[in-house]
Each structure stands twice: as C-alpha cells, then as structure tokens.
A and B are shown apart, each in its own frame.
Chain A
Amino acid sequence: MKTVITAALAVTLLFGVSQSALAVDRGGTLAYGRYADSLFLEPVLNDGNVDIWVLSNLYDTLILPTDDGQGLRPGLATDWKVSEDGLSVTLTLRDGIKFSDGSPITVDDVKWSLERAAKPDNGIWQFLVQSIDHVETEGDKTVVIKLKKTDPAILSALTVFNTGIMPKKLFEAAAGATDAEKAKAFAEHPVSSGPFMLQSWQKGADMKLAKNPYYWDKGEDGQPLPYLDGIDFQVIPDDATRILKLQSGELQGAEFIPYARVSELKNDDNINMELFPSTRVEYVTLNVRPQLNGKDNPLSNEKFRQALNYATNKRAIIQIVTHGVGTEMTSFMSKATPLHAGDTPLYPYDIAKAKQLMSESGVPAGSELTLLTLAGNQDEVGIATALQQMWQALGVKLNIQQVDNASRTEQYRAGTFQMRLAAWTDDIADPNEITSYFAYSPTIDAIHTSWKNDEVNKLFEQSQSETDPEKRREEYARIQEIFNSTGPIVPLYETPYPVALSKKVHDFVQIPLGNNIFRSTWMSK
C-alpha cells in the first residue's frame, strides 16, 4: 500500500513538475527599470556596461554562455572544434538562421563581423579577439577562424558581445564614409540577429525592444523564442523611485537595487528579490609610485600597504555598506571568474598585526592619505567614511576627496592619484581580462598604480598562449598568490547583482558578466 502511494505521489509530482514546466505563458511586454540608458548599441564600438549588458538581446554570438556564465552552449553555430595545433577554430553554422528582417545569416556576415571586431584600433574591446588573424569560409555552412597564435580563451571570446553577428550588406550600405559613421547610421535603424530587435528609442528615457519573429531558438512549447512580445527599458536614475515604480506595478523588473533595501524587498510578498552571482569586486586602488606630486608616497612601502589591509575590517564594511549582501574576497578576481584560486578571505581583520606591520614599515604615525571617491555615490562615501575611522587606529589620517567620474579618471590615467575606490566586472568568462588590467604591467601599469612584478608578467604572457588547461591553472594560481600578497589594492568585497522582479516574471537571468538575458523570460498571465 505504502509503495503504491509513494509511486502515485511520485507520478503526480513528476506530472505536476512537467506540467508546470510546460505551462509557459507567451506574450506581454516586460517593463524593466534601468539605472542609466544605453549610449551606443554597437557590438564593436560601444564604450561600456550600459550598452554591453543589453546587447546580447540584440546580437547573437556564434557560441552562447551558459546561465552560470562559465560554460559554452551552441548559438548561431551548432558545433566548434579547435585544431590540434591550436591555430584555427572550425565552426558550423546552424540551418535556417535569419536576421530580424528575414534575410539569411550567411558565412559572409560571420566572416565580416569577426574580422571587424578583430581589426586593430576599432573600438576598445579589440584586445579580447586580438589573436584572430583572419576568417575563412568553406561552402555556405563552415567558418574557419585562423589565429596568429594559440589562444586558450578563444572559445570564450566567441561568446562575448563584440563578436555578435551583424548583417554585412546592410551595414556597408549605411550612410557614411568610415566604419564609425556607418556604425552610427546603422545603429539608428539596426537589423539584429538576437532574440529581440529595436522598436523605438527615446535616448535617455525609454528604449523599446520587440521580439525578433525570425529568431532560431525554440521554447518549451516548441514555438520560436522569445516568449515575450517585447521589453520596455525605462530609465529611472533614482533608486527609490525605481523601487516604488516596481511596487506600484508599473514595472516588472528593476536593476541595481541598493543593498540597504535588499532585505526589505525580500519580505515584500509581490516581489522576487534576486541576487545573481556576479564577477563584481570592490577594492581600493593604491598608487605605489615612490613619489607623488613631489612628495614621498608611503604607499610605495609594501609593509605599510599590508598594515592598511589588516586594519581594514572587511566584515564591518560588508555589514555597513552592503548590509550583509556582499562577501569577503579570497583573491583579487571574483569567485565566479574561471581559474579563481584562494579559499580564505584576504587579510582578515587583525589590528595587532596591522600595528606591528605599521611600526616595521617605518611610516610615521600622523601620515596623511587622500582617497578619491565618486561624488554622490552613497556606497563609496560609506566605504570611505568607514576606512577613515578604521585607519585612525594606525594613526593614519585619511582625507576623502569627492570628485566626478571624468576628473577621477583623468587623475587615475595620469597616475597622479594616491588612492581611489574602484569596482570591476569581467566581460569575458576567462581570467585574462582582469589579470591583464590588474597585474600585467604593460597593459595599464597594473590599474595605473605602477606596481610591477616580473614573474607575474612572464607567467601572464605564458598563460595567454598556454594550451594545457592544467598548466594554465597553475600559472594563474601563482599570479594570484603574488598579487594578493604584495599587490597594490585593499580588497573589500564582492557583491551579486541585486535585481527585483515582479512575482509574475520567470526565467530572467543576469549572468556573472552582467548581461541581462531575456531570451527565455516569460510572464505569467
């Protein structure tokens, strides 16, 4: 009897599960509140996250990232193979793929799109695909990417926004003489290869996307994706207003929920408070140049940097600033970054050790430091205020200077800043981007701090063409070990992406790189 019941239960459970999985509602327009509007919806020439994070809805790549952001799954290409010598990648295009105007996506479009992304001096993301030499086509289904050198990250690179496939003929027919002018003209009336297409755009206020009727992927009901008729991205810069608009039912989703309000929204019955795993890390950048503006710079002293690190109570900052949402960093790169190494928090709070390191360093008490923070950014002001208080215990006086982004960037790039707060998110599911910027000095002087380690530089260069995954893992482990113990930062915390959604919204995901994926999102009626 008992077994029968269990079996029946199992059947209903199974049935129930598959039933609910099939019961996907189609249609509807999802209104999504964004913190800031996109500027230039152009895979190759865009300048930042406001564009990148929505681009994957408009332009599909040959390979797509999995929802955890680390794996690969078929996109416009159904399969791929890296050659024995590691110098070419052969991909097969999917049958029947079309652009949003109904015209077929051909090998020519793919060849042109990839070569455009790999052209030097074309946009700021070229470094992600700089190993591509040229692209060859075989027949009307096969594309062969020829590399200049072996590149362990090439498959990940083919999932990144700047390798999105665009229609060659329409782009070249657009008005303008240069690639930049044509890109601008094309972006006014783009034809896309992703699940959505641009319907209307009032810059700075409202951007409407409509479903691409020719999209190749199928939903659970066997009909073409996406489920949604469209997305309405509304720009609502004030956090509190964005939340109110969600609570009043005028929005179905809102990004960048302030950490202070996460637990409050978790208790709201009509809202799903999502915390999507991310690659975002927050840290203080320390300029290690021996002299700054003609004065000696104590930050050039490694022991002093370590003292500051041990005197920083990261758990308290996580509590005060992120209200428990953040976690301690175990390496300079986030735990969601492939090849991340480290399982204990960096520099656990230890004021005795900090004081000892301080006296060993020979830096006199009463030293003053200046920290640049972004004017009006509550999180940064909070961190800065906490650091000011915490470092007082070492006799260090921290001056906080609030400046706007352009001023800070200028001092940063010139290397004249002393300390600044900064955050980072990866753009590729590979550790090479963050390592190149943070630790490999030829790129930007190790986040403009002038920190330099020859071993790290050598290891990074090796790892960039290392085809043995195990060896590459070891190289990255060593790079992280060196940077984490002697590097030019005070690691603070990593945080997920806080997104609040109406309970009606299902299967929306923001992957660790930040991309908002609406491909299979649906809303219950």
Chain B
Amino acid sequence: MSLLPYIFRRILQLIPTLVFILVVVFVLVRLLPGDPASALIGDRALDADVQRINHELGLDQPLPVQFLYFLKQVATGDLGNSLSLKAPVIDIVAQRLPVTILLTTMAAVIALLFAVPLAFLAALRQDGVVDTVIRGVFQVGLSMPVFYLGLVLLTVLAAGLHWFPVGGYGETFPDRVYHLFLPALTLALSLAAVLMRNLRSAIIGVLGAEYVDFARAKGLKSRLILIRHVLRNALISTVTLFGLSVGTLLGGAVITETVFAVPGAGRLMIDSIYGRDYPMVQGLTLALAVLVSLTFLLTDIVQAWLDPRVAR
C-alpha cells in the first residue's frame, strides 16, 4: 500500500520536532522566575537551605553543562528523578500517562458519537426546529467553563442521582472507564460542539456543490450520495480540526483532572510547573509530545485515506 512510505516518512520527521521541543522546554522552565528549592520549601527557606538544595540538584552548574548532562541522560533512556516527588520520572509518567490517554480517548470517542450524527441531522434539516434545538444545546455546552460544567455534572449525576462516583480513579479497567465517564463527557462537550458546527457547515456546503447535483442528476440514490460523496468530502476539514484539537483536549484535561480528582498527567504537568520540577516537566513534555504527534499522524493518515490527493 502506498501509504506505508508516507507513514514511515512522517515518523522520521517527528524526531527533529521532538528535539526542538525538548530544547525549548529545557530553556523555558529554567527561565521561569523562582527555583525548585524555593518552590519546594516555600516561605520559610533560609538562603543556606536553598543553596544546599540547588547544589544537590546540580542547578548551580552553567546551563550548557546541565543541558549536556540532560542529553546524556535522555540518550540512555533515563529522564532523571522528580525533584518534588523524589521518584524516577519514568515511573511516574508510566503511572500517570495511561490515565490521561484513557480519559482523552474516551472524550474523543464521545465527542465524535455526538458530533457526527447530530451534524447530519442538523444539516439535513437546516434552519428547522431540530437544527435550532441541536445548535442551541451545543451553544450552551460550548459556553460553560469546563470546571463549572464538571461541577454541575458531579452535583446532579454523581452526588445527586448516584449514577456515577464523585471523581477518582478505579482499580480495574471497567471500573476506570466508569470513573472516567463524567470527566470524559465534560471534556468532550466543547470539542463535540466545535466538530458539530464545523461538520454541519461542511455538509451544507457539500450538499450545495455541483458534483452532488450531478450525482443526483445521474440518479444515484440519496443514501449513497450521503455516504460516498457528502460524508467523505465534508469530513476533510473536520478531521483536520479533530487532529488539531488533541492538544486542546490535553489542555482541557488539566482542569478536568483537577475537578474530578483524576490522577492523570495533565494535573501533574501544572503541579510540576508550579513546583519548578524541571526533570518532571521535561519528561512529561516529551511523553505528551510523542502522544500528540502520533495522534496527529493518525488523523493525517485518515485524511489521506479520505482524500488520496493529500498524501501526494
């Protein structure tokens, strides 16, 4: 299949991107005001304590020396120790990242399940009652801050009706899916709204295009037209948007994970930034960058499949 070289090329292209991101993050976290020692100890730190800790962590070395040391570490597959959690970064990432992957995957699936059928329904009944209701509901969903929406869902569906647990993360896989349903739904709603709006508009556009009129003139049945022509062409920009939104989804996970007490990588990221936990931020960035790049690649492949011209 002609897609294979394309995929291979794209994976090779990932490497310079990742190196670039690592360099930027490495420098950026060190440019932030405040050092790990004062973040760790806080207000009561004495100067001697701070100097001692910075020395222990090797942070009194010049930046290039630190970077070389860091590169050496990464090359041997070691991401160092977390400064605040005092455990290997690799172990913590291995613990936290799967949680976030599960959460965002569920959110993406939920968003698609909502967006695609409803977009069709709305587009086919453009400006009708169904269209208006669907768009109205999504507008409200789109206008609620994630933390507020999360609390409303928790209050009503979890604490009120006891359909779901109030936050947390389960022990077994089905239990975890159950725990993550509400956070995933919260995360999914704004993405679903974005995708729904885009897809609805695209379908309306395609339905009006000449080739659909042409197909209809050729006497193709309506359902065939919908699937073969409309969906394929309308999905192009939606898939692009979907791929781009993976980063946004992970950003939303920071707040969703906080509200729902989900021990994922998003929450850890912000804690680590605030804690100036340099090795942890670097390790997490690397892991998340790989994750996003792969998803991005996946959407590109889907797009190439939808429209083979893209891969050329």
Residues of A whose CB lies within 8 Å of any CB of B are 39-40, 47-48, 121, 124, 180, 184, 187, 202-206, 234-238, 240-242, 244-245, 247-248, 250, 404-413, 422, 437, 443-444
Say whether B41 faces chain A, with CB atoms less than 8 Å apart: yes
User: Is B300 an interface residue when CB atoms closer than 8 A count as contact?
Assistant: no
CB < 8 Å neighbour of A236 from B56, B86, B167: B167
Q: List 30 A-B contacts (CB under 8 A).
A: A180-B56, A202-B95, A202-B263, A204-B85, A205-B169, A234-B261, A236-B167, A236-B168, A237-B261, A237-B267, A240-B259, A241-B151, A241-B154, A241-B166, A241-B261, A244-B166, A244-B167, A245-B166, A248-B166, A404-B273, A405-B34, A405-B42, A405-B274, A406-B275, A409-B43, A410-B33, A410-B34, A412-B43, A437-B44, A444-B46
A265 to chain B, nearest CB (A): 13
A39 near B263 with CB under 8 A, answer no
Q: Is B131 an interface residue (CB 8 A)?
A: no
Q: Is B276 an interface residue (CB 8 A)?
A: yes
* Residue contact A184 to B86, C-beta cutoff 8 Å: yes
Interface-centre pick from A124, A206, A411 (highest chain B CB count, 10 A): A124
Given contacts A245-B167, A406-B274, contact A238 B261 (CB under 8 A): yes
Number of A-B contacts (CB under 8 A): 123
Whether B47 pairs with A409 at a CB distance below 8 angstroms is no
- Residues on B with beta carbons closer than 8 Å to the beta carbon of A245: 159, 166-168, 261
Q: Shortest beta-carbon distance, B94 to chain A, in Å?
A: 12
Residue from A203, A235, A409 within 8 A of B261 (CB atoms): A235
Interface contact A238-B258, CB-CB below 8 Å: yes
CA distance A510 to B276 in the complex (A): 30
- A237 to B167 alpha-carbon distance, docked (Å): 11
Is the pair A244, B155 in contact by a Cβ cutoff of 8 Å? yes
Of B44, B48, B49, most A-chain CB atoms within 10 Å: B44
Q: Is B162 an interface residue, CB under 8 A from the partner?
A: yes
B53, chain A: closest CB distance, angstroms: 9
Interface of B is mostly: helix
Q: Give CA–CA (A206, B147) in the complex, Å.
A: 22
Task: Tell me whether A406 and B32 are in contact (CB under 8 A).
Answer: yes
- What CA separation (Å) do A237 and B84 show in the bound complex? 17
The residue on A at minimum CB distance from B48 is: A121
Residue pair A238, B41 in contact (C-beta under 8 Å): no
Residue pair A124, B258 in contact (C-beta under 8 Å): no
For A406, the chain B residues whose CB sits under 8 A away are 32-35, 38-39, 274-276
Could you tell me the distance in whole angstroms from the C-beta of B227 to the nearest C-beta in chain A? 43
| Distance A242 CA – B84 CA, assembled complex (angstroms) | 24
Contact A240 B44 (CB under 8 A): no
- Closest Cβ of chain B to A240, distance in Å, is 5
In the assembled complex, the Cα of A244 lies from the Cα of B166 at a distance in Å of 7
Residues in B94-134 with C-beta less than 8 Å from chain A: 95-96
Q: Is the CB of B158 within 8 A of A244?
A: yes
B142 at the interface (CB under 8 A from A): no
The answer to whether A413 and B162 have CB atoms under 8 Å apart is no
B40 in the interface (beta carbon within 8 A): yes
- Pick the contact of A40 from B86, B96, B274 — CB < 8 Å? B86
Q: Which B residue's beta carbon lies closest to that of A124?
A: B49
Nearest chain A CB to B87 CB, angstrom units: 7
Least Cβ–Cβ distance between A378 and chain B, in angstroms: 12
Q: Could you tell me the distance in whole angstroms from the C-beta of A202 to the nearest C-beta in chain B?
A: 7
- Across-interface contacts of A206 in B (CB, < 8 A): 263
Contacts of B92 in A (CB 8 A): 203
In the complex, which residues of chain A have a beta carbon less than 8 angstroms from the beta carbon of B48? 121
Q: Considering the chains assembled together, what is the distance between the CA atoms of A245 and B84 in angstroms? A: 27
- What residue of chain B has the Cβ atom nearest to residue A183's Cβ? B86
Contact B39 A405 (CB under 8 A): yes
- Cβ contact within 8 Å between A234 and B168: yes
Q: Are B40 and A47 in contact (CB under 8 A)?
A: yes
Chain B 161-198 interface residues, beta-carbon cutoff 8 Å to A: 162, 165-169
Kindly list chain A residues whose C-beta atoms are within 8 Å of the C-beta of B44.
124, 437, 444
Residue of A nearest to B91 (CB): A203
Asked if A241 contacts B167 (CB within 8 A), the reply is yes
